[in-house]
Amino acid sequence: MTNMRPPNKTILLKVVILGDGGVGKSCLMNRFVSNRYDENNFHTIGVEFMNKNIDVDGEKYTLQIWDTAGQERFRALRTPFYRGSDVCMLCYAVDDRDSFRGLKQWRSEFLNYADVKADKFPFIVVGNKLDMAAKYRQVNYEEVEQWCQDNGITSLIETSSKAASNVTDAFVLAVRQWKHMERVAEIELRQQSDTIDLTRSIRLAQNRFCCIGGGGGSGGSTTSAEAELEDESMRSDRSGSRPSPLRFVKQSKAAARQSQATNFQL
């Protein structure tokens, strides 16, 4: 089953940016949307979301980016902010250990109020303020990577809104993560409908085959849809297509360690 969406149709995605106050969420959004950096940006309370068009892997997207507009201090975001989200960006600042610790709470708050399943929803973790001198760094990439693995998150990137490093990449990664999850969901749906369409005798034959084969495939955390997607991505790797999200993370890691080169693209 291919995507039912007509070609060239713009896909609207609601992206929510969460994290402790001061990590640079508003600056990140402004850098991405307007390519501007304003130290006093946080005073602009009241903006709910900003739109930005972006092309990712040949598809057109409008990202509707929701910023907490300062309410995170009062912990009063709740349902309307989260409802209908397509992607959740969990932000911390690399020079602020507490903000990294806060990710756990933001993630569970989001899962609660957005009412989505953790393993089916695209999260991306963003470590902002990459421009800070090494002596100020309080959070290492490796420990965040570990936290992400423990929580089933495959997209992690470090950014600097100030130096305009990796900002567009972070949103591209978010879109790719969304796309990955959508494909997993599509495959699951296809597998479900395959099951419904099968005749009883074919199903029995399959069961017998499973038993003979030793029931392999159980016990792992990868669903059959994800396994199928992995097969697909391996096939596309061979043909030189875009990398899977996991591999993109590894590339981002290298990129994040690199210089603070401006990579914002208008």
Ligand X SMILES: Nc1nc2c(ncn2[C@@H]2O[C@H](COP(=O)(O)OP(=O)(O)O)[C@@H](O)[C@H]2O)c(=O)[nH]1
Residues that bind Mg ion (CB under 5 A): 25-26, 42
Q: From the CB of 80, what's the least distance to ligand X, in Å?
A: 19
Residue-wise DSSP of 3-41: --SPTTPPEEEEEEEEE-TTSSHHHHHHHHHHS---TTG
Neighbours of 138 (CB within 10 A): 14
Say whether residue 132 binds ligand X (CB under 6 A). Answer: yes
| Segment interacting with ligand X (CB under 6 A) among 35-43, 100-108, 217-225, 254-262 | 35-43
10 Å CB burial of residue 174 (0-12, 13-18, 19+) is: buried
3-class DSSP state of 259: coil
Say whether residue 39 binds ligand X (CB under 6 A). Answer: yes
Residues 6 or more apart whose CB falls under 8 angstroms from that of 131 comprise 160, 162, 163, 165, 260
Measure the CA dihedral 52/18/66/265, to 10°: -10
Q: Which of 42, 49, 113, 264 binds ligand X (CB under 6 A)?
A: 42
The nearer residue to ligand X, 39 or 150, going by C-beta atoms, is 39
**39 is in the binding site of which of ligand X, Mg ion, none (Cβ under 5 to 8 A by kind)?**
ligand X
Question: For the window 75-114, what string marks contact with ligand X as x by the rule CB under 6 A?
Answer: ----------------------------------------
Alpha carbon distance 132, 135 (integer Å): 8
The nearer residue to Mg ion, 90 or 229, going by C-beta atoms, is 90
Q: From the CB of 189, what's the least distance to ligand X, in Å?
A: 37
Q: From the CB of 40, what's the least distance to Mg ion, in Å?
A: 11
Question: 25 and 103 in contact (C-beta within 8 Å)?
Answer: no
Question: 258 and 209 in contact (C-beta within 8 Å)?
Answer: no
Q: Which of 16, 18, 26, 85 binds ligand X (CB under 6 A)?
A: 26
Say whether residue 41 binds ligand X (CB under 6 A). Answer: yes
- Chain residues binding ligand X by CB under 6 A are 19, 21-27, 39, 41-42, 128-129, 131-132, 160-162
